Amino acid sequence: MSRVYNFSAGPAAIPDAVLERVRSDIPDWNGTGMSVMEVSHRSPEFVAVADKAAQDLRDLLDIPDDYSILFPQGGATLQFAMVPLNLAAEGEVVDYVQTGSWSKKAIAEASRYCEVNIVADSADRNFTCIPAETQWQRSREAAYLHYCANETIAGVEFPFIPDAGDVPLVSDMSSTILSQPLDVAKFGVIYAGAQKNIGPAGITLVIVRKDLLGRARPETPSLLDYAVYDKSGSMSNTPPCFAWYVAGLVFEHLKAEGGLEKMAERNRRKAAKLYAAIDASGFYSNPVKEDCRSRMNVPFVLQDASLDAAFLAQAEEAGLANLKGHRSVGGMRASIYNAMPEAGIDALIEFMREFERTCG
Ligand SMILES: *Cc1c(COP(=O)(O)O)cnc(C)c1O
């Protein structure tokens, strides 16, 4: 098996051990004589997988009992609509922090259903910082406060959890969930698309405080109603069984690896090394304010952008894949989620030094 170091922002790398397990499971899963893609979601075998995935996730994130774990489809993008449909009545005001491309999209979608108040906006700083909480212009009676914990494109991460007071705090954690321990009790809703740090695309994670269930607007399609997922164990229609099963294997793998404290420690080390290498050179740079640099997505530009194509081609040859930055930012981006081993960071740093030496 020949595997590259995959720095893709998403769909992103999945741990080798999980892929090996999937491969060996495929023809005859769990003694059924079928693959997991072919069994009924209501079979005892699959229900056991679903229950174990939820329990392992509960253990990993230490999710309190008054929170429900839901697995809808539609990705984080569908949550941009499901959040307002489930938490805000028509015409109600909702508060959003605008810190990058993803929160901007969440705001655009919420604006179709609610009155959106943007409490703070870092667009004029090119989304390279998180506005200080003391400057936020919160509305007096918001149905909830929404923020994106890690902006995957500009590589900006909240170094704190906002204090929402009595208002439910809602967070898009697509690109940071499971990268470190989290105080779930501070949130009303946490959501994440799977294909960054959880598993394959096609399944979405929603963690919702139970008192927020059952408030969806009357016209909400039932498959967009959190309460329907809660009541049916996310099986009111056929769920994405394969993605669910792989996500479960990832949760199991993270537990076996020592849990989220271990992940946090490793992720901090990985990011620190890479930023240090960027900062130490005059050849590469990262524009994000130091205290809110993402531990998961590290964008950087070459001082001489005419070398971009050569950098990417040679990186690819060296087994370092998908380093091209998002088109809105340019340059490079190394996404270094849980599944990126430290050896991958070392290989990237060594490649960057060598490229600077020969082309700089
Ligand atoms: C990738 C991403 C999304 C979009 O996720 P989909 O699952 O493709 O809908 C939204 N928010 C953040 C922070 C992301 O990284």
Compute the average pLDDT of residues 63-86.
98
**Could you report the per-residue pLDDT of 289-343, keeping only the tens digit for each?**
999 999 999 999 999 999 999 999 999 999 999 999 999 889 999 999 999 999 9
What does the alpha-carbon distance between residue 4 and residue 258 come to, in Å, rounded to a whole number?
25
Burial class for 264, CB neighbours closer than 10 Å (0-12, 13-18, 19+): middle
CA 155 – ligand 1 centroid, Å: 13
**Could you report the per-residue pLDDT of 256-283, keeping only the tens digit for each?**
999 999 999 999 999 999 999 999 999 9
Instruction: With CA atoms as reference, report the closest residue to 9 among 318, 294, 287, 348.
Output: 294
Atom number, ligand 1, closest to the C-alpha of residue 204: 7
The vertex-197 CA angle with 193 and 199, nearest 5°, equals: 70
For residue 302, what is the DSSP state? E
- Look up tokens 């909702």; give the residue: 94
Q: Probe ligand 1: pick from 79, 104, 151, 174, max atoms within 8 Å of CB?
A: 174
CA 197 – ligand 1 centroid, Å: 11
Confidence of residue 360 (pLDDT cuts 50, 70, 90): confident
One-character DSSP codes across 239-258? --HHHHHHHHHHHHHHHHTT
